[in-house]
Structure 1
Amino acid sequence: MIFDTHLHLVDRGRLSYPWLAEAPALNRDWTYAEYEATARRIGITDVLHMEVDVAQTDIDAETAFIAELIARPGSLLRGAISAARPESADFAAWLERIDPAVVKGVRRVLHVVPDDISQTSVFRENIRRLGQAGLPFDMCLLARQLPLGAALADTAPDTALVLDHCGVPDIAGGAFTEWAAAISDLARRPNVSLKLSGITAYTGGNWTLKTLRPWVDHVLDSFGPDRMVWGSDSPVCTLHSNLAEWVCASHDLLSGCTPDERAAIFHRNARRIWRIAG
């Protein structure tokens, strides 16, 4: 059983994705049907859709799009991690009107905005609101921004925070030491979990299991199996691998864990963090 906590779907005829113009390798439609065909073959049983940084005016439309897919008979989708603007004074009103049957969490990509946005009083108060609503917040930060994540965790101790993509390490550049220290520091915050996702995209393409192992071993040592979840980051994972390769690599990289620990990382923790019935 694998719970994929990080699937992106793209429908350019329905929604606007301004950033795709600068990402030609990803600039096409990525459909649920295409993903599902492979996912079922390799053991993925449950999925959360991760927002795809659509134009701000399309945020609610993206949620409606995913709600339709969730409602399909036999769908693997269990909910959406919605885009939002916690820096906005309108956030509280937005939070009041979302459908909790669909929206299971929230993300604001923080490496596309000025660093100080996540440090404002409005942003921090709205992240605390998420905790009060029982909704986790996915932190998408570059490695240099990991201290910002630690500061946010300290100001919202009752909100579950999930660090995406192992903190976007520069694996290709071998920038291990500073990243590792920042990961260890962030892991001291008990309200933060880590998502094992997307890291093949940071390898430059010439990777093997040996390339990835030190980075995965470090996050496992820092957070432990009870505060880690798994995500495909599909289709971004296709930049330097594919969905099946990432699943296979993940099984090997976690082979030193006990069966119970692997079950926690691959599916049990996701159900707990995002409150998904088993």
Structure 2
Amino acid sequence: MRIDAHQHFWRYEAAHYPWINAAMTRLQQDYLPDDLAPLLAQRQLQGSIAVQARQCVAETRQLLQWAEQHADTQVVGWIDVTAADLGDQLSALRHPRLRGFRHLVQDEADPAAWLQQARVACGIGQLQKHRYVWEMLVTWRHLAETTQFAAQHDRHWLVLDHLGKPDIARGARVWGEQVAALAALPHVVCKLSGLVTEAPHGSWHSAQLRPFIEEALARFGPQRLMFGSDWPVCLLAAEYHAVAQLIDDAVSALSADEQAAIWGNTAAQVYGLTGENNESVFAG
């Protein structure tokens, strides 16, 4: 199975996406499943995980609606994990295409404090009880606190988005040291995504970013890494094909099984994308 484990859809309204600033004109338009479909086909990708870009349940419902209409889409949505009625909200959102949830921890005034809240811990416990994946969107500044958080929540998969947004200028070795303790936790998986937009000033080249992929391979191993395009956000720095080719080139020396893990088999395992007879959920 070949899967893009991280992309976004939206109908663009400026008020709904305040993080899309005036300089991001490329993102100020609709990006919908029919726009992504030919890009997936060009890279022989069977399906994708549509990840939340707004912190509201309304967007989660919209993503699920699109997923119902497109057999190649599964969803990681948003829910308020601190809510007192989280159980009821989960029941109301239950859907066969809903694979997990994410919160924009990086945008909190104090990400470290947010991760340490008792209400957050209680909420993550409920999500893991229901076998939902939790995706961790943090930057390199809070990888230590993220490690403490992850160590406390080991009943189901946790996913580190975008390699924890490394400080590209400081180099891959520094990032490798920062992420080492988190990578040592066997229930934590990392997405090879978002690197091109982390490069300073949106300018990148393969030789600059490839060491981070190699460091991720050394720290997590191919069985706990997943390809993600971060489309359409990646368009701020690179076209879809260039993002996929960066990963393709970096993993080309691995065995066929190791490459297959990165290009989809790990995502299939983490998100539960096979049925009882190991058939793909994207088949129908």
Mark yes or no: TM-score above 0.5.
yes
> Counterparts of 1:245 and 1:144 in 2: how far apart (Å)?
28
Query: Which residue of the partner structure matches residue 81 of structure 2?
Result: 86
Query: Which residue of the partner structure matches residue 184 of structure 1?
Result: 180
> Counterparts of 1:101 and 1:23 in 2: how far apart (Å)?
37
The question of 1:104 aligning with 2:104 is answered: no
Query: Which residue of the partner structure matches residue 36 of structure 2?
Result: 35
Deviations 1:223-248 (A, max 9, x none): 00111111110011111111111111
Alignment of 1:117-196 (within 5 A): 117-171=114-168, 173-196=169-192
> Counterparts of 2:21 and 2:178 in 1: how far apart (Å)?
32
Conservation of the 8 A alpha-carbon contact between 2:193 and 2:227:
yes
Q: CA deviation at 1:203?
A: 1.4
Alignment of 1:234-253 (within 5 A): 234-253=231-250
Query: Which residue of the partner structure matches residue 224 of structure 2?
Result: 227
Call closer, same or farther: CA 1:23–1:118 in 2, change over 3 Å: farther
Q: SS at the partner of 2:5? A: strand
Q: CA deviation at 1:24?
A: 2.7
* Structure 2 residue identity aligned to 1:48: I
Q: Structure 1: which 5+ runs fail to align?
A: none
Q: SS at the partner of 2:259? A: helix
The question of 1:273 aligning with 2:270 is answered: yes
Conservation of the 8 A alpha-carbon contact between 2:6 and 2:48:
yes
Q: SS at the partner of 2:46? A: strand
Q: SS at the partner of 1:194? A: strand
Q: CA deviation at 1:18?
A: 3.0
Q: CA deviation at 1:212?
A: 1.3
> Counterparts of 1:75 and 1:102 in 2: how far apart (Å)?
9
Q: CA deviation at 1:41?
A: 1.5
> Counterparts of 1:256 and 1:8 in 2: how far apart (Å)?
30
Alignment of 1:199-238 (within 5 A): 199-204=195-200, 205-238=202-235
Moved over 6 A (4+): none
Instruction: Report the TM-score when normalising by structure 2.
Output: 0.89
Deviations 1:144-187 (A, max 9, x none): 1111211111111113100000110121x234444221211111
Identity of counterpart residues, as a percentage?
Answer: 25
Q: CA deviation at 1:14?
A: 11
> Counterparts of 1:156 and 1:23 in 2: how far apart (Å)?
38
> Counterparts of 2:198 and 2:12 in 1: how far apart (Å)?
26
User: What is the root-mean-square deviation of aligned Cα atoms in Å?
Assistant: 1.9
> Counterparts of 2:127 and 2:85 in 1: how far apart (Å)?
14
Q: SS at the partner of 1:251? A: helix
Call closer, same or farther: CA 1:68–1:100 in 2, change over 3 Å: closer
Query: Which residue of the partner structure matches residue 251 of structure 2?
Result: 254
Q: SS at the partner of 2:49? A: strand
How many positions carry a matched residue from both structures? 271
Conservation of the 8 A alpha-carbon contact between 1:144 and 1:179:
no
Deviates more, 1:30-39 or 1:190-199: 30-39
Instruction: Report the TM-score when normalising by structure 1.
Output: 0.91
Conservation of the 8 A alpha-carbon contact between 2:76 and 2:99:
yes
Conservation of the 8 A alpha-carbon contact between 1:195 and 1:230:
yes
Query: Which residue of the partner structure matches residue 24 of structure 2?
Result: 24
Q: CA deviation at 1:86?
A: 1.6
Q: CA deviation at 1:17?
A: 2.3
Query: Which residue of the partner structure matches residue 48 of structure 1?
Result: 49
Q: SS at the partner of 2:101? A: strand
